Amino acid sequence: MLQPKRRKFVKEFRGRRRGLATRGNELAYGDFGLKALEVSWITSAQIEAARRAATHQLKKGGRVWVRIFPDKPITARPAGKRMGGGKGDISTYVAVVKPGAILFEIAGASSEVVKHAFDMASAKLPVDTRMVAREE
């Protein structure tokens, strides 16, 4: 699973999830990209599942880049724990995804294969997505 090697502060506020992606919203590496259409937290397990689904569909026919990284710690308290006692321990790490962010990029495969790979990958993600292509 993806997670940061170290952090300056262990726990983080939840924050506000609004607005559009101003960074990471254009293709940088591949010819095709999977773009998010809504706001969400994507866990490291969901990123890995989507990456494996896309890679499996390519059958060694292309290269995949993961453009998001889960660097936000999410805390949780055990079930049945009474109120109080402070903030819980870190349960997982998530990537904050805003509309317009490129999640994955693929190069070296045909458009039909990439479309099918992105369909399989987007089924593993909690956001609506759209495939975008590089304009030559």
Q: Confirm whether 100 is domain-assigned.
A: yes
Structural domain range at position 40: 32-78+88-133
CATH number of the CATH domain containing 66: 3.90.1170.10
d(CA 67, CA 69): 7
- Token duo for residue 8: 């300056």
pLDDT in tens, the chain (136 residues): 889 999 999 999 999 989 999 999 999 999 999 999 999 999 999 999 999 999 999 998 899 999 999 999 999 999 999 999 999 999 999 999 999 999 999 999 999 999 999 999 999 999 999 999 998 6
Global pTM reads 0.92
Q: Confirm whether 63 is domain-assigned.
A: yes
